[in-house]
Amino acid sequence: MTLVVPFDGSDLAEAALVRATEFGKVFEENVVAVSVIPKGNTDYARERDWITQNEQFDLETVVSILHKKVVDLSPSADFRHKVVDRYAPSGSISKHLRKVSREEDASMVFLGSENAGRFVSSVSSVGPSVAADETYDVVIVRDRSPAKIAKLQSASPVKNPKSDFYLSE
């Protein structure tokens, strides 16, 4: 069993990753952070601060940035990324996240989202679709600033990241 975290580098995704790591220690389960990247979508990448306003989209750079964020927050976590069409709708992105969750035999998915699980949800959010899958439990993280992020990083027995590379598709 595995704890899966959809990871886009946002504050809520970071908080979800930290919480999943804490749970992983207690339950002795692996943590996998999953990023879904629309290939070549510069606007999408800029909105998420994967690249600066002046940078061009480069898939390797984006994957590297996301991987580094994951390793910085949770050195013991595994990192996976999926590449989708440039203008993939949120439904396509959530489909990939659900697929990885099933492939990893997720027992829980930690979802950083302001609106996942609420009756009213944003059309552009992947959260409600990922949260609706019944093959795993869902932990919704709505607090951007867990007090334990710095404490977790300094107390982690894992000082060296699990990997310093990523596998491209």
* pLDDT at residue 155 greater than cutoff 60: no
* pLDDT tens digits for range 90-106: 888 888 998 999 999 99
Least reliable range by pLDDT among 18-22, 46-50, 92-96: 92-96
Mean pLDDT value across the chain: 81
Adjacent-strand bridge partners of 137: 108
**Between 117 and 8, where is the model more confident?**
8
Which of 23-27, 116-120, 152-156 is predicted most confidently?
23-27
Per-residue confidence (pLDDT) for residue 145, from 0 to 100? 67
pLDDT of residue 127: 52
CATH class for domain 2-155? alpha beta
Instruction: Give the residue from 53, 49, 59, 54 showing the smallest Cα distance to 8.
Output: 49
Tokens representing 24? 């992983």
Phi, psi of 4 (to 5 degrees): -110, 140
Q: Is 163's pLDDT higher than 80?
A: no
For residue 16, what are its two tokens? 């979800």
Q: Which of 39, 80, 73, 75 is nearest to 56 (CA)?
A: 39
pLDDT tops 50 at residue 150: yes
